């Protein structure tokens, strides 16, 4: 357990919880939340909708993460995205906003941990944006796989990471703006090349060494296997 999770878990125990089923919306876009939500278990997806009703994911939240941050810190009067349970069961703590903000302010360790969390979120968003800027479908997917393996992955062995999100072809289509059919075709091609591996009820694993060889991007981010910190 990292320092952030430890601090949060020591704080939230006195608050009530609520469990949501997969696909159940926790906060609607434009809604003024009644509290800050802190994840006890599961995954929450934040997303926007295009004018055509297409889903555009902007991030995933996991254990001990709080949301919506912009509302919690009084930057906006309501949620700017939808927040939906992404895992089969997602349990969240319901924490009054002022309680959470005062807790962060009163604890120097928590201030630093919160800062570290938002820096990591910025890294995640910039990597996601970089993936979307590529015009070719296979590049969009490869950079998206890279972003997910770095920000939501765990090391299995040298250069191989498992994405800790249970993603479907449709999820990849939503993340990249491709059709489901195109996403499925390109993912299957990468599987045959040994870049990724996946199956029914099996999470995606990414071979970063093979991925980097195909992308030929000398500035692609890597992770230090000893510290799990990003290297450029």
On whether the pTM is more than 0.85, the answer is yes
pLDDT in tens, 5-61: 888 988 999 999 999 999 999 999 999 999 999 999 999 999 999 888 889 999 999
* 114 lies in some domain: no
Task: Determine the distance from the C-alpha atom of residue 117 to the mean position of all C-alpha atoms in its chain, rounded to a whole number.
Answer: 12
With CA atoms as reference, report the closest residue to 25 among 49, 50, 51: 49
What whole-number distance in Å separates Cα of residue 212 and Cα of residue 220?
Answer: 7
Of the pLDDT bands very low, low, confident and very high (cuts 50, 70, 90), residue 185 is very high
Provide the number of structural domains found in the chain.
Answer: 2
Clarify whether residues 139 and 64 are in a common domain.
no
For residues 221 and 127, the answer to whether their CB atoms sit within 8 Å is: yes
With CA atoms as reference, report the closest residue to 106 among 5, 33, 7: 7
* 49 lies in some domain: yes
Alpha-carbon torsion (143, 146, 148, 150), positive or negative: negative
pLDDT in tens, 49-108: 988 888 999 999 999 999 999 999 999 999 999 999 999 999 999 999 999 999 999 999
Average pLDDT over residues 119-148: 90
Q: If you ran DSSP here, which 8-state letter would residue 34 be given? A: S
Which residue, of 54, 88, 107, is where some domain finishes?
A: 107
What whole-number distance in Å separates Cα of residue 102 and Cα of residue 114?
Answer: 13
Q: What is the CATH number of the domain that holds 153?
A: 1.10.10.10
Residue 67 DSSP SS3: strand
Which residue, of 107, 142, 176, is where some domain finishes?
A: 107
Range of the domain at 47: 3-107
pLDDT in tens, 137-164: 999 999 999 999 988 999 898 889 999 9
Clarify whether residues 96 and 14 are in a common domain.
yes
- CB neighbours of residue 18 within 10 Å: 12
């Amino acid at each position: 357990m990292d320092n952030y999770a430890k601090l949060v878990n020591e704080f939230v125990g006195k608050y009530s919880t609520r469990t949501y089923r997969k696909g159940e919306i926790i906060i609607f876009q434009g809604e003024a939340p009644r509290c800050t939500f802190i994840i006890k278990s599961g995954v929450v997806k934040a997303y926007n909708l295009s004018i055509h009703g297409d889903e555009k994911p902007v991030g995933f939240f996991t254990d001990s993460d709080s949301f919506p941050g912009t509302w919690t810190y009084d930057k906006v009067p309501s949620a700017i995205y939808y927040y939906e349970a992404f895992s089969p069961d997602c349990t969240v703590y319901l924490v009054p906003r002022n309680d959470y903000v005062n807790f962060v302010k009163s604890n120097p360790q928590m201030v630093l941990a919160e800062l570290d969390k938002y820096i990591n979120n910025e890294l995640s968003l910039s990597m996601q944006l970089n993936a979307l800027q590529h015009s070719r479908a296979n590049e969009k997917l490869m950079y998206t796989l890279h972003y997910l393996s770095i920000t939501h992955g765990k090391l299995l062995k040298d250069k191989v990471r498992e994405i800790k999100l249970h993603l479907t072809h449709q999820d990849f289509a939503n993340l990249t703006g491709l059709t489901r059919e195109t996403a499925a075709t390109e993912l299957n091609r990468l599987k045959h090349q040994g870049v990724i591996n996946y199956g029914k009820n099996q999470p995606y694993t990414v071979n970063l060494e093979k991925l980097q060889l195909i992308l030929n991007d000398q500035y692609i981010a890597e992770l230090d296997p000893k510290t799990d910190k990003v290297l450029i």
